[in-house]
Chain A
């Protein structure tokens, strides 16, 4: 991924670190405060675990200092299942970062979106988790022409990758190509939305589609409980299905994404 960059930019700008993820992210926090744009890489999703404290503290920095300090950075890491799985190299668990206030989370499904979202992140003013799905890195379906050095995509805007009216399919990352293949195989007229980013996520696009199709299938790569698909399901159930049957506001309220004052 970074092959050749050290030769080109030197050891001060592209470099190996000691083996401590807390050190990698904590280092990035100090650098960001000093006005740099650090791009730390975590080797696999699971190995972000030792950095949890720094990730959490980085995300809340702007809020807890009332906008006096912020540490924008772009954390890159491979996620997800590829060929064979194990508990250390195949996790997605995007939801943990979505649940850390202050982080923007990108999950591109293809090369073009990866360019656009990464560029926006690198020029932005918030910390970003940039999750690179291992199964998509060299997948034929994820290949695209380079979209240009000026191409940058906004966060929170889903992409309709297939238009249909029988059912809404919501996915991101490696599940997008599977949804497309499944719709093709089943011969279903599916409206397939690639969320592209989970924080923020494009609930308006999803709700607009569901109001048209009246059916929604969310496909995420995660364990059975507590994945981000559950959040989407709750919002869709509340604002599309329940809201259409009840006059009053449905009870689900996700609250504001910040930590409680101590």
Chain B
């Protein structure tokens, strides 16, 4: 429920999210087709990877609203690319003067276990030191597969632990309470969008099923499982809107319609073939005449300056340091989308040998 609420706020065409393997709800709310979501998990042709990835990680080029940066099977890998995207938003605004990026944000989704990863801390440092328009959305269901969250962050609550972190606005609450979750998500998104710096939103949610189909959750006691089902957000949502906004009949009609759409999509997905074997080796590298939908210079209408493989030697012999610096200098001059960064590359001019 909370993911869908978040998705409803991400309408800026330059917003981007990067999620993980539990991010299907927000992807559906952004516009991913049901049959793609189901078919990709079955490894079928089409969809967002043509049967090439694990199926529960998504990517979604989206010109109308938030794109989903390609997710990865590795937990924590989603954080630093989102921070990079958020820094690119600032670059587009401040260096390239592109007003289309005004108010855009980067949103990263992670679970409670992901806050122990290198990527989380690397991105947190980047976002806070550079005051990036980035929202860290952390869903805390208490478990990383079977590992309890007290091993991931002391006291189990990353929001409490980061309360004194400089430059980070914290929101923390119950992700299953429609009113509270809706309020917190709205506040978190508007704080980020207003350019007031990064936000960490920590929402507690139950994990109603195991990590995967093979995971029977035998490591949880019966009481724990019952307590988790008691926090199922769907009945809470129903209680929140019926009868105040909807009648029982309306709700039942919505449920029936959703079930029918899912069943139809599952049927379509199931009828999809596996991808064509002759095509499976394509796109390890770029191919002429087949530009990617998003990323890189070329699909943005880049027109490379003319080039020749014939050297026209000029001046005295220079060493490789000067040669590389001069090439970077020229390309920085002719292409405003080139940027150079790393440890000590600024005033010091890099630590070469």
Contact = CB atoms under 8 A, between A and B. Distances in A.
B84 A28 contact: yes
Given A5-B329, A34-B92, A42-B342, A110 B320 contact: yes
A65 B70 contact: yes
Contacts of A70: 286, 292, 294-296
Given A54-B80, A146-B326, A147-B313, A26 B296 contact: no
B192 to A, nearest CB: 16
Contacts of B350: 1-3, 41, 43
Interface in B330-353: 330-332, 335, 337-353
Given A43-B342, A69-B292, A151-B307, A1 B349 contact: yes
A30 B314 contact: no
Interface string A113-150: 01110111011111000001010111100111111111
Interface in B66-100: 67, 69-70, 72-74, 76-77, 79-92, 94-95
Nearest to B72: A57
Contact of A39 (B125, B323, B340, B346): B340
Contacts of A10: 95
Interface stretch (A160-168, A201-209, A227-235, A254-262): A254-262
For B51, B347, B348, which residue has the most chain A Cβ atoms within 10 angstroms? B347
Contacts of B82: 30
Contacts of B342: 16-17, 24, 40-43, 76
A256 B281 contact: yes
B256 interface: no
B326 to A, nearest CB: 6
A126 B69 contact: no
B53 A118 contact: no
Contacts of B329: 5, 8
B6 to A, nearest CB: 19
B232 interface: no
Given A65-B70, A134-B352, A258-B281, A26 B327 contact: no
A69 B319 contact: no
B290 interface: yes
Nearest to B288: A125
A4 interface: yes
Interface string A25-49: 1111111111111111111000000
B92 A67 contact: no
Interface stretch (A101-109, A187-195, A214-222): A101-109
Contacts of B92: 34-35
B83 A26 contact: yes
Given A13-B95, A37-B297, A144-B313, A118 B318 contact: no
Contacts of A244: none
Interface in B257-274: none
A242 interface: no
A34 B295 CA distance: 6
B339 A36 contact: yes
A2 B350 CA distance: 6
Contact of A30 (B81, B290, B300): B81
Which bucket holds chain B's interface residue count? Answer: 35 or more
A46 B142 CA distance: 36
A153 interface: yes
A18 B129 contact: yes
A122 B79 contact: no
A15 B52 contact: no
Given A27-B87, A36-B91, A111-B320, A18 B122 contact: yes
A148 B339 contact: no
B286 A262 contact: no
Nearest to B89: A34
Interface stretch (B42-50, B168-176, B199-207): B42-50
A4 B297 CA distance: 25
B218 interface: no
B316 interface: yes
B309 interface: yes
25 contacts: A6-B345, A8-B332, A15-B339, A20-B122, A20-B126, A22-B118, A23-B125, A24-B341, A26-B79, A26-B80, A31-B84, A35-B297, A37-B335, A53-B72, A65-B292, A66-B49, A72-B286, A112-B311, A114-B320, A125-B296, A137-B320, A137-B353, A147-B311, A151-B309, A152-B309
Interface of A: 1-6, 8-20, 22-43, 50, 53-54, 57, 61-72, 76, 78, 82, 101-102, 104, 108, 110-112, 114-116, 118-120, 122-126, 132, 134, 136-139, 142-154, 256-258, 261-262
Question: Which 5 residue pairs spanning A and B have beta carbons closest together?
Answer: A26-B80, A30-B84, A3-B349, A41-B342, A34-B88
Given A53-B77, A139-B320, A256-B281, 9 more contacts: A33-B295, A35-B296, A62-B284, A66-B50, A111-B323, A119-B327, A138-B320, A146-B318, A261-B53
Interface of B: 16, 43, 48-54, 59, 61, 67, 69-70, 72-74, 76-77, 79-92, 94-95, 106, 118-119, 121-123, 125-126, 129, 280-287, 290-300, 304-332, 335, 337-353
